Structure 1
Amino acid sequence: MHSATASTHSAGTGWSSGVLVVAAALASGLVIAGPALRRHYPVVWWVCIGFPAACIRIVRTWRPLMAGCGLAISRRAALTVVSGLVGNGAPPPQPRVPRRGLVLPTRDGFRLLIRMLPGQVPEDFVKAAPAMAHDWEVHAVRVSTWRPGVVRVLASATDPLKEPRVPRQRTPGRLLRVTVGVLETGAQWVIDLRQVPHWLIVGATRSGKSTLINALVAGLSPQRVALVGIDCKGGMELSLYEPRLSALATNRGQAVKLLRALVDLTLDRMTVCREARVRNVWGLPEKQRPVPVVVIVDELAELFLVASRGEKDEAQAAATALIRLAQLGAALGVFLVVAGQRVGSDLGPGVTALRAQLGGRICHRVADPGTAEMALGDLNPDALHAAQSITPEQAGTAVLASADGWDRARSHLVPETEAEAIAAECAHLTPHVPELAEAIGAPTGPSLHIERLDSDE
């Protein structure tokens, strides 16, 4: 009996030793192959090596990190005295620290929830985010409110904006939805005009604003939508896409006529919807549904700057038409993308009124703080601070914000030659909208209707 027990114990010991040897061999292999694995298979490296190491660092540094950032609450002084008397010099009770939840991996980082202690607010943890990133040895940490009393921490192990890996969209895809780049979280940067119909894009020269417009037009070109351009700098920017544009205004006079025609088109669609007893064009039967129109305005300041009384009247007419389109267009299939190097209240009261109607904001590096304030100041102060921190070396990087929150992102690099080639390739898909063609004196032709919406709509 004793011999059998000893044999069983020996077998168990041998099995345990074998498991330890195999585990040690696997761990050594992962460490040796780590650099190559990280370079060629970053997701596999993160799951097998990076994430477990990060979890160990979080556990090891949690209490000192919270104390160092002022997020720990000391026990009452009386407890310290009692501890010293009863415990004969024993160390005082440890301070209370916020309770963290389970650390969950993401594609290139991790996330966790933290329950705040009484008296703490989310801003306390936002200020501690840089310290968390340093202690946990990750690229960046973002803190946001999850629910009352709880904040969410989202960490990125590397900078996904350095080399965006999201594939560019060159097929029609979902109507009015375009993947233009990558978010700081590693997710796709998607502009969906059905969800956020109007956008304001600002950025200084060589900040990435034109590249973003290239990516947006490249994604919309294969779709059954009408693209309309307003470029009062003689069409220097938007003329690249002219084969794919249903109309292009190259000076303020043409722009005013085109905008008025767009307002009239919108009012006509409103009449059609009212007679059909539907709330928007998407409720119309497929054969009656008009083509969506995406209006791209490049360099807004050229529309609003005035030097004479006559120019003032034109600028006011353009501002009024843009505001009306922003107010009415979303439900009637007309969408605005307004871009500019500088957008400020000094351009006139119309700019502020228009800004209020543009729910989506994208701010690249700007030359003056007023432009960033105009783009993001009314939405989120943290987004404004992040936009003002973009350096000239971070071309293409932007802060995008809406009523739902904000993110840092970077658009795909779409060169001008590529944008021009895509516009020419998709020229046969250009819808001819007679109302807009007549406004700028272009020949008329047959109009098109959009295809059926995705089934999940």
Structure 2
Amino acid sequence: MVVAAVLASGLLLAGPALRRRYPVAWWLLCGFPVVAFRVVHTWRPLMAGCGLAVSRRPALTVVSGLVGKGAPPPQPRVPRRGLIRPTAGGFVLLVRLLPGQVPEHFVKAAPAMAENWQVHAVRVTSWKPGIVRIVASAADPLTDPRIPKQRGPGHLLRVTVGALETGAAWVVDLRRIPHWLIVGATRSGKSTLINALVAGLAPQAVALVGIDCKGGMELSLYEPRLSALATNREQAVRLLAALVDLTLDRMTLCRVARVRNIWGLADKERPVPVVVIVDEIAELFLVASRSEKDEAHAAGTALIRLAQLGAALGVFLVVAGQRVGSDLGPGVTALRAQLGGRVCHRVADPGTAEMALGDLNPDALKAAQAIAPEQAGTAVLASGDGWERARSHLITEAEAEAVAAEYAHLTPVLSELHVEAL
């Protein structure tokens, strides 16, 4: 008891400093035991208060038993809780549903759980039939995200760009989700995310291709590391057509080798992966004359073909814009359907958020619309696997230029994509 008292006193005295310098250690030593006790102690009354408990007997049987025998009422059945497992900034537990319950019942009770357990947020997801997964965050990890520095090139086409609300790293893996749509208003963090993505890809053996129809104001920072850069729609149409031809050539290569994608080729025969970054997609689709309409149609058709064919042939799309809506033309909606990964920052109009997230998850759409102007860098990312809140790592313009200069020697020479040559 004396030793325990000394340890407890030491933790109380060193707690504030430990929490600032070593938040994970503080949480595991001090925060998690307290919260875990709170969860265990309040589980039954919390489930009953949220309407998630079920009486063991019909109501009339209970009443007759009370009147006839004076016996105490039986305790209601509550969902069975699994082991509470700590994470770097919260905890996870699995809960088995009672007959008649569905995951949506627990989703509605998530705010009450967070309030009762005195944690920042609780997220409830379906884990497997009959079981839900409850993930709690003790504090908001997006306020001051701690992102480990990436050493070396890492895994091919896999980049850590920020932190998730759960405290885990936000990883963009183009091999798993090959095409992405990124939307966000001015100063929402969209450009910062693109900078983080390109900075992570720069040390890798990939070709980076930029399409920035605002005169190259955004992507020109990375020009030394780009294999091609189009700065207006005329150049973009030619570059996209060349990318389609490159994709068809790779298709022929795979067919001759009798493989289904370039990853089935031998290392010496495999062509370099190409990541195409399109900044401000609206500049490609907005039209003011007949000639511009033809250019916009050609650009949209080429992008859709790249999205349909590119994943297996080593061509990946990252499409970004401040405003993306069906009013830009049917090509935008068709392209959106091919972009499996979605990232939505704070947007200026609800239609853009609807375009980005509405077809994937209604809850993700609500979370994106709740992002405040002061939460720059915060976004909602969604795919077929679900959705998360996240915040990208800040890459300044000076850092972007430094990355481009440092890895300029790794830029693959793809002569068929040079805008001047086209």
Whether these two folds match at TM > 0.5 is: yes
Q: Which has the larger radius of gyration?
A: 1
Question: Is the 1:79–1:92 Cα contact (8 Å) retained in structure 2?
Answer: no
Q: Structure 2: how far apart are the matches of 1:286 and 1:100?
A: 49
Asked if the contact 1:170/1:222 (under 8 Å) is kept, the reply is no
- Is this contact kept in 2: 1:79–1:93, CA < 8 A? no
CA-CA distance at 1:171 after TM superposition: 2.3
Distance 2:136 2:319 in 1: 33
Q: How far, CA to CA, are the matches of 1:280 and 1:209 in structure 2?
A: 31
Q: Which residue of 2 aligns with 1:313?
A: 294
- C-alpha displacement of 1:85: 3.1
Partner of 2:219: 238
Pairwise CA RMSD:
1.4
1:288 counterpart letter in structure 2: E
Look up the match of 1:441. 420
User: CA deviation digits over 1:317-338, x for unaligned, max 9?
Assistant: 0000000000001111111000
State yes or no: 1:395 paired with 2:379.
no
Task: Provide the residue aligned with 2:17 in structure 1.
Answer: 36
Secondary structure in structure 1 of the residue aligned to 2:268: helix
Partner SS, residue 36 of structure 2 = helix
Deviation at 1:121, TM superposition (A): 1.1
Q: Are residues 1:24 and 2:5 paired?
A: yes
Deviation per residue, 1:411-457 (Å, 9 max, x gap): 100011110111122111111101101xx1159xxxxxxxxxxxxxx
**Residue of structure 1 equivalent to 2:262:** 281
Q: Distance between the aligned counterparts of 1:343 and 1:136, measured in 2?
A: 40
In structure 2, the residue matched to 1:372 is 353
Range that drifts further, 413-422 or 72-81: 72-81
| Equivalence for 1:253 | 234
For residues 11-70 of structure 1, what are the alpha-carbon distances to aligned partners after superposition, in whole Å with 9 as ceiling and x for unaligned? xxxxxxxxx222222223222322222222222221221111111111221122112222
CA distance in 2, matches of 1:113, 1:287: 47
Q: Which residue in 2 is equivalent to 1:449?
A: none
Deviation per residue, 1:198-249 (Å, 9 max, x gap): 1000001000000000001111111111111101111111111111111111
The percent of aligned pairs where both chains have the same amino acid is: 79
Aligned residue for 1:84?
A: 66
Change (3 A) 1:170 1:307: farther
Aligned partners of 2:41 and 2:34: how far apart in 1?
Answer: 11
Q: What does the per-residue CA deviation read over 1:162-215, in whole Å, with 9 as the maximum and x for residues that have no partner? A: 112112335211111111111111111111111111100000100000000000
Could you tell me the TM-score, scaled by structure 1's length? 0.90
Q: What is the number of equivalent residue pairs in this alignment?
A: 421
Alignment deviations for residues 236-295 of structure 1 (CA, whole Å, 9 cap, x no partner): 111111111111111111100000000001001111111111111111222221111110
Alignment check: 8 A CA contact 1:170 1:219 kept: no
* Counterpart selection for 1:197 from 178, 189, 214: 178
1:94 to 68, 72, 75: 75
Structure 2 letter corresponding to 1:254: Q
Residue aligned with 1:357, SS: coil
Partner of 1:132: 113
Structure 1 residue 161: deviation in Å?
A: 1.1
What is residue 117 of structure 1 aligned with on the other side? Answer: 98
Runs of at least 5 residues in structure 1 that lack an aligned partner in the other structure: 1-19, 444-457
Q: 1:174 aligns with which of 145, 149, 155?
A: 155
* Aligned partner letter, 1:66: M
Shift of 1:86: 4.4
Q: 2:127 aligns with which of 146, 161, 180?
A: 146
Between the aligned partners of 1:33 and 1:375, the Cα distance in structure 2 is 46
Query: TM-score, length-normalised on structure 2?
Result: 0.97
Q: Distance in 1 between matches of 2:154 and 2:6?
A: 47
Give the match's secondary structure for 1:131.
Answer: helix
Letter aligned with residue 58 of structure 2: R
Return the alpha-carbon distance in structure 2 between the equivalents of residues 99 and 217 of structure 1: 46
What is the CA–CA distance in structure 1 between the aligned matches of 2:107 and 2:405, rounded to whole Å?
A: 47
3-state DSSP of counterpart to 1:313: helix
Matched, 1:358 2:339: yes
Q: Identify the range of structure 1 (319-328 vs 106-115) with the bigger mean alpha-carbon deviation.
A: 106-115
Cα distance change on mapping 1:299 and 1:112 into 2, 3 Å: same
2:205 counterpart residue number: 224
Q: Which amino acid aligns with 1:255?
A: A
Q: What 5-or-longer segments of structure 2 have no aligned partner?
A: none
Is the 8 Å Cα contact of residues 360 and 402 (structure 1) preserved in structure 2? yes
After TM superposition, which residue ranges in structure 1, 4 or more long, deviate above 6 angstroms? none
